[in-house]
Structure 1
Amino acid sequence: MKLRVLGCSGGIGSDSDTTSLLVDSDVLIDAGTGIGNLKLDELVQIDHIFVTHSHLDHIAFIPFLVDTVGFLRTKPVIVYATRETVNILQNHMFNWLVWPDFTKIPNMEAPYMQYEIIAEGEVIDLDGRMITPLPANHVVPAVGFQVNSGRSSLVFTGDTTTNDALWSVVNTIENLKYLIIEAAFCEAKRDIAIRSKHLCPSLLCAELEKLKFHADIYVTHLKQGEDELTMREIQACAGKFNPRRLLKNQIFDF
């Protein structure tokens, strides 16, 4: 089982794209601008999109993906999200005003896209690849995901802040190998991080102290222009965990 980082930045710009992770060739976790780097034959293979939450940097390319490949496929792209997130997608994106409702195109019997409601703790088994929504603490309803190959697991927190509920689950994952966790702001913007329910270095370091298993830790969602500063601040307080910066096009084998 492989995961490829298509985008992991807190913004866009030269060689930076927002969050999107490709599992094998057919599963996406979030659908930020990183999808735009895939070739058409790669886009057509995507059958499943798991959405952490409804913020634009995580969903912006769902409409373009479905519009691009829908007529080339024989089955719908399935979008997995919580009931709250699906409601937001229906009401505010696929609403015929911002974008067509592809659950009704070309018709309701054979649509280009369909929704699958998920809930925390529910295991979705895709041919032995087990994906489980995890608790997240953000300003909109949100989840993270555990991706379990059976051999080992990768946890992606999604956007979150201080979150004891997450660690109570993560600390039961005995085959945990990789942890991808966010830090959206540098320490000088701690107040903004708290108000927007993100992490900054001091908050991230406090969260990592709750982790009971060893894992290779990677930091995502860094803001351009302060990314290097933020990583230095993280290393200063969390050096014993050896957190590394998540990189675009990085591949995890697990």
Structure 2
Amino acid sequence: MKIKVLGCSGGIGGDQYTTALLVDDDILIDAGTGVNRLSMEALTRIDHVFITHSHMDHITSIPLMVDTVARMRDKPLVLHATEATLGILRGHIFNWEIWPDFSRIPTATAPYMRYETIAIGKPVQLGQRRITALPANHAVPAVGYQLDSGTASLVFTGDTTTNDPFWEIVNGIGNLRYLIIETAFSNKEREIAVLSKHLCPSMLQEELTKLKLPVEMYITHLKPGEDALIMREIDACIGNYQPHRLMNDQVFEF
């Protein structure tokens, strides 16, 4: 598997783009503003979008992407998410008021887009690639993902706060190589992190005491303007893990 980071920021502006990971050339993990960096040709090759949750910074490009490339494709774009998240998309995005219902355009039997329900712990097999939803703990129904090439795995937490069930599963992944974990707020905003169900460095430190496997770790979803401070606080409290800041255009191959 080859994963390219299109966006990994907690906001926008300048070179900041919200969450989108391109897997090979046909899968997206989330579809934030980072998707805007893809060419038209690249957009037509996207067959699957695996959605962590329904917040705008993770889904904002989906409606425009479907509308832009649907007529250039010979099969529907598949949105993979839990039933709870798909229900939010149906009710609040693809509802004819915010955006047309492309699961019924041009016809209900041959749509430009279709929904596929996923469940935590049940892998989706796409060729040799296995993508499995993992539990997340966020302000809306949410998941993370394990991406398994067969040789190694990358785990992406999605947006989450403290989450014991997640670590129980992660500690059982024998071929785990990479962990991408969010830390959205600095320690001075711990109360906001708790309220919005995100992490700050001190909370991340507490969570990592539950990790039992060696792993190469990357930090994502930092708030613009606070990003340097957050990374300094992370380095100060969990430097033994040598976490790296996730960057646009970073590539993982495994």
Give the TM-score of the pair, scaled to structure 1.
0.99
Asked if 1:250 is matched to 2:230, the reply is no
Shift of 1:60: 0.4
Which residue pairs with 1:71 in the alignment?
A: 71
Which residue pairs with 2:26 in the alignment?
A: 26
Which residue pairs with 1:3 in the alignment?
A: 3
**1:81-120 alignment, distance < 5 Å:** 81-120=81-120
Write the distance in 1 (CA, Å) between the matches of 2:250 and 2:184: 19
Write the distance in 2 (CA, Å) between the matches of 1:70 and 1:62: 11
Look up the equivalent residue of 2:129 and give its one-letter code.
R
Shift of 1:57: 0.2
Shift of 1:206: 1.1
Look up the equivalent residue of 2:200 and give its one-letter code.
C
Write the distance in 2 (CA, Å) between the matches of 1:182 and 1:159: 6
| Alignment RMSD (CA, Å) | 0.4
Write the distance in 1 (CA, Å) between the matches of 2:205 and 2:44: 40
Write the distance in 1 (CA, Å) between the matches of 2:243 and 2:202: 13
| Count of aligned positions | 254
1:67-86 deviation line (CA, Å, top 9, x unaligned): 01100000000000000000
Write the distance in 2 (CA, Å) between the matches of 1:160 and 1:109: 36
Look up the equivalent residue of 1:231 and give its one-letter code.
M
1:79-122 deviation line (CA, Å, top 9, x unaligned): 00000000000000000000000001111111100000001001
Write the distance in 2 (CA, Å) between the matches of 1:78 and 1:107: 16
SS at match of 2:238: helix
**1:45-194 alignment, distance < 5 Å:** 45-194=45-194
1:154-200 deviation line (CA, Å, top 9, x unaligned): 00000000000000000000100000000000000000000100000
Write the distance in 1 (CA, Å) between the matches of 2:206 and 2:164: 11
Write the distance in 1 (CA, Å) between the matches of 2:119 and 2:205: 28
Shift of 1:5: 0.3
Write the distance in 2 (CA, Å) between the matches of 1:116 and 1:107: 18
Look up the equivalent residue of 2:193 and give its one-letter code.
A
Give the TM-score of the pair, scaled to structure 2.
0.99
Shift of 1:62: 0.4
Shift of 1:209: 1.6
Look up the equivalent residue of 1:100 and give its one-letter code.
P
Shift of 1:205: 1.1
Write the distance in 2 (CA, Å) between the matches of 1:129 and 1:96: 34
Gaps of 5+ in 2: none
Write the distance in 2 (CA, Å) between the matches of 1:39 and 1:94: 24
Look up the equivalent residue of 1:36 and give its one-letter code.
N
User: % of aligned pairs identical?
Assistant: 60
Gaps of 5+ in 1: none
SS at match of 2:86: helix
Write the distance in 2 (CA, Å) between the matches of 1:235 and 1:130: 32
Moved over 4 A (4+): none
